[in-house]
């Protein structure tokens, strides 16, 4: 297979499918399998680019999430189950602080629930991290429909400025040390924030000027009324989608209706906006069978897991079963590791 970029939308559908599966199962074996599949695909299809390091960052955040969740359970958790592991000295806070009990007995059930619930969120984070390091954020923003063009550009600017701000911070801190001033502590942060912000602002202004001279925003002459209509539609639609997703993940019935309504409004808004924009795209990423395969494996993993597995944790604890349908669907999501074209290797590091 010749090297090419896979459509960023395909990676995102794949990752969100796996992520959705993770939020709907309390089976630690399936969660572990999802993480393994994500890691395998990332390790075999990650391009050589700065943003491809996102996976490691997300994994670290995910671990932190589990640790915090367990920590909170140990400190504040209500006693669940009967298998006592150890007992912490306990203290009950006074009534005006809601009378919460700190410490106390910690049971295996409590820990198991904390780890599983923490892992659900952690797995979702890892899936998002996988998408972030497989699909170039800039390419994703470029693939947005023209109606979301302005959002996309704002995203591009933010994405390209974030690393520059980091570079500015490092440079200014270096200069501070060379001026013989402390580089740690509040005072150092306050004093160095001025040159950092000033140079970052300069960067932003330079970028804005460059984009202006390169025709950005030229083809979007719309009347204020029209713009308000599109903005209203898109905004209301996005809120509908967000609320709908929240409800669907919480498994209540009206969520689907809200989701559909929100999607319809957002799409109408985007189409209305898109009609006005005369903007073309240079070599858009094609959507071929590897894209279809990638997206399909992610989505079918979500469907299979939601159909077979349950997100409730049963007490007393039992060793989780391995539903073959879900296992097969999740394993299938590892296929893109071998069946998609590898990303271009654009340059060799000396």
Partner 1 sequence: MIRFADVTFTHAQSGRPVVSNVDLTIPEGDLALVIGRTGSGKSTLLNMVNGLVPHFTGGTLRGEVRVNGMDTRTNAPRDLAGIVGTVGQNPRAGFTTDTVEEELAYTMESLGFAPDTMRRRVEETLDLLGLAPLRHRPLDTLSGGEQQRVAIGAALTAGPAVLVLDEPTSALDPAGAEEVLAAIARLVHDLAITVLMAEHRLERVVEFADHVIRIEDGHCELLDPAAAMVGHGLQPPVVRLGQAMGWEPVPLSVRSARRQAVQLRTATFEAPARRTGHDGVATVANTTVTYGHTGALRAVDVQLRSGQITALMGRNGAGKSTLINVLAGTRAPDRGRVRVHEDDPTTLRGQALLRRIAYVPQDPSDLFYTDSVRGECDATDRDTGQEPGSALARLRQLVDTVDPDNHPRDLSAGQQLALALAIQLASAPDIVLLDEPTRGLDYPGKVAFGSWLNRLAEAGCSILVATHDVELVAVIGDRVIVLADGEVVTDADVRTALTSSPAFAPQVQKVLAPLPVLTVEEACSL
Shortest reach from residue 171's CB to partner 1, in Å = 6
Shortest reach from residue 154's CB to partner 1, in Å = 12
Closer by beta carbon to partner 1, 160 or else 300: 160
The answer to whether 158 contacts partner 1 (rule: CB under 8 A) is no
What are residue 87's phi and psi, to 5 degrees? -125, 130
Closer by beta carbon to partner 1, 48 or else 310: 48
How much of the chain is in helix, strand and coil states, percent to nearest 5?
Answer: 70, 5, 25
The answer to whether 180 contacts partner 1 (rule: CB under 8 A) is yes
Comparing CA positions, the residue from 14, 9, 16 lying closest to residue 136 is 9
Only one residue has tokens 């590897």, namely 290
Considering only residues 29, 39, 151, 207, which one is a binding residue for partner 1 as defined by CB under 8 A?
207
Closer by beta carbon to partner 1, 312 or else 348: 348
The answer to whether 176 contacts partner 1 (rule: CB under 8 A) is yes
Considering only residues 1, 78, 213, 316, which one is a binding residue for partner 1 as defined by CB under 8 A?
213
The answer to whether 349 contacts partner 1 (rule: CB under 8 A) is yes
Closer by beta carbon to partner 1, 138 or else 264: 138
The answer to whether 136 contacts partner 1 (rule: CB under 8 A) is yes
What does the alpha-carbon distance between residue 19 and residue 23 come to, in Å, rounded to a whole number?
A: 6
Contacts of residue 293, Cβ cutoff 8 Å, sequence gap at least 6: 335, 336, 339, 340
Shortest reach from residue 176's CB to partner 1, in Å = 8
Closer by beta carbon to partner 1, 41 or else 172: 172
Considering only residues 139, 247, 261, 264, which one is a binding residue for partner 1 as defined by CB under 8 A?
139
User: DSSP letters of 95-142?
Assistant: GGGTTPEEEEEEEHHHHHHHHHHHHHHHHHHHHHHHHHHHS-HHHHHH
Half-sphere exposure of 122 (CA within 13 A, CB side): 25
What does the alpha-carbon distance between residue 33 and residue 332 come to, in Å, rounded to a whole number?
A: 11
Closer by beta carbon to partner 1, 79 or else 218: 218
Shortest reach from residue 346's CB to partner 1, in Å = 4
What does the alpha-carbon distance between residue 341 and residue 291 come to, in Å, rounded to a whole number?
A: 10
Tokens of 230: 């599109």
What does the alpha-carbon distance between residue 208 and residue 157 come to, in Å, rounded to a whole number?
A: 9
The answer to whether 278 contacts partner 1 (rule: CB under 8 A) is yes
Closer by beta carbon to partner 1, 217 or else 232: 217
> Which positions touch partner 1 (CB under 8 A)?
49-50, 136, 138-139, 156-157, 160, 171-172, 174-182, 191-192, 194-195, 198-199, 203, 206-219, 278-283, 344, 346-347, 349-350
């Amino acid at each position: 297979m010749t090297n090419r970029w896979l459509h960023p939308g395909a990676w995102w559908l794949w990752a969100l499918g796996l992520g959705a599966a993770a939020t709907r199962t309390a089976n630690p074996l399936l969660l572990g399998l999802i993480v393994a599949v994500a890691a395998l695909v990332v390790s075999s299809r990650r391009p050589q680019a700065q943003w491809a390091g996102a996976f490691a960052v997300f994994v670290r955040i995910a671990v932190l999430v589990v640790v915090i969740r367990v920590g909170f359970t140990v400190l504040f958790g209500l006693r669940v189950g009967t298998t006592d592991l150890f007992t912490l000295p306990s203290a009950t806070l006074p009534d005006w602080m809601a009378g919460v009990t700190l410490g106390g007995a910690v049971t295996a059930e409590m820990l198991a629930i904390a780890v599983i619930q923490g892992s659900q969120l952690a797995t979702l984070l890892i899936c998002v991290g996988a998408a972030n390091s497989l699909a170039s954020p800039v390419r994703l923003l470029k693939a947005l429909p023209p109606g979301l063009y302005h959002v996309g550009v704002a995203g591009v600017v933010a994405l390209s400025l974030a690393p520059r701000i980091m570079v500015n911070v490092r440079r200014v801190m270096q200069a501070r040390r060379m001026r013989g001033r402390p580089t740690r502590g509040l005072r150092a942060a306050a004093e160095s924030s001025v040159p950092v912000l000033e140079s970052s602002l300069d960067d932003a202004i330079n970028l804005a000027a460059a984009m202006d001279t390169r025709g950005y925003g030229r083809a979007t002459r719309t009347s204020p009324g029209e713009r308000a209509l599109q903005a209203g539609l898109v905004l209301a639609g996005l809120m509908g989608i967000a609320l709908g997703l929240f409800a669907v993940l919480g498994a209540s019935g009206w969520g689907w209706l809200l989701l559909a309504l929100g999607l319809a409004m957002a799409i109408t808004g985007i189409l209305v906006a898109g009609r006005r924009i005369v903007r073309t795209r240079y070599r858009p990423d094609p959507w071929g069978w590897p894209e279809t395969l990638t997206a399909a494996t992610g989505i079918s993993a979500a469907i299979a897991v939601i159909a077979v597995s349950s997100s409730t944790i049963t007490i007393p604890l039992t060793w989780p079963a391995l539903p073959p349908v879900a296992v097969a669907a999740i394993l299938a999501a590892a296929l893109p590791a071998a069946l998609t074209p590898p990303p271009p290797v654009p340059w060799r590091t000396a």
